[in-house]
Structure 1
Amino acid sequence: MNSADLETVPATLREHVAHMCRQLYGRGWMEGTSGNISVRSGDAVLISASGCAKGTVDRRDTVLVNAGDGSRFTGETRRPSAETAVHLAFYREYEDCGAVIHAHAPYSTALASLPRFHRAGQGVAHVEFVDMELAKGLGLDDPSHVRVPVFVNWPEVRRIAADVGAFLRASPPRATAGLLIERHGVTTWGRDLDHARNRLECVEALCRLSLLMHGSTTI
């Protein structure tokens, strides 16, 4: 894709990403420059730029990258989110994935910060939600028993992305709506941006309920 092709990416798509960032900032889920959002556009991915304040982000704070290797297309001057590699893992493994949201929603982040998840690299853990009515909103095959993976928060994002990619490769799309990263936040995927946001809301609500019911003994 060259600079002329960038004009084929609708301005409305860039604004939709920016609007969602501002919306989640308003809910306290993307404070400061935290969090990132992406949508698929053909063989490319439009993602929020690195270091942009989510409360004032606009469509100029989005970057079009190659869905395969994350490289910027000609004409893009902003640096893409530092967590682009994690987003690309979803697009690579789930062909129906049209959007990814990573947020620092408080209850999801709090749950993923419990001491039981500080495992010094001992693999993927899980949070389980059993017989929770709200889990039906995730649209999974078995909402009666939802397992959300919790990944090690490696300093190198590409190492996290490799772990995520390996997990998704072995997990059917209808079994996984999102994931947690220890002490770092929540990531969800969806057919489109609204679907990914709905799943984000459901995961955050499930984490809130779990902490209210079980506190630090969450299973």
Structure 2
Amino acid sequence: MKHVLILMVSLLLAVFVTACGGEDNEAADNQNEDRPATSPVEDEPIVVKGDEEAESEILLVTDYSCPYCVDWYMDILPEIEANLVDEGAAQFRSAPVSFVDENSERLAAFDLAVKESAPEDYFAIAERLYADAEDDAVSGWGEPSYQEEVLEEFGLDYDDVMGAPVPDTDEFTNAYVEEHGFETVPAVLVDGELMEDSFDYDAIADAVNAD
């Protein structure tokens, strides 16, 4: 199964097993003022894709340095967007945790800062990060110089974005693990219920439609 096994939350370098430890429409990018029930972090910046009135929430807990999280974002999310988000059945959001390496922490902080400072650009920037993770031609992926380059392409200033007040990434990670009890990433929750197999699109769709 495509997952990252985390033996202890306090060990940010996980033991390797089978993996490495804005338009206003139905598919719009929205920054919620009300924190969803699935967020255990009071000051978490929240950006959602989809109709704010949708009855279901699909939450991805992800580590940018995890190749299986990259696979999920590039392969499973488009199907979710086309069939569930764009149809108004669910909204989608993500939460970045840091398990694997130094880039996990860097990009978790970057993710949260972009959500806080430039929510309208967040999903486009996140997709760029995942796409670049698979591109061997991209140098310095995840490092501050890479982050600055990406932000410049969106007309954003690195210092302004990274100066935003965001949660500590270690505390953020621990809070999500303690709240939702997942042991692997990518972890997918539908309305707060942890999916047994995050790559099982049919099970995710059934959980949404069950509501």
Asked which structure has the greater CA Rg, the reply is 1
Higher relative contact order (CA 8 A, sep 6+): 2
- Same fold per superposition (TM over 0.5): no
Higher percent of residues as strand: 1
Q: So what's the TM-score if we normalise by structure 2?
A: 0.28
Q: So what's the TM-score if we normalise by structure 1?
A: 0.27
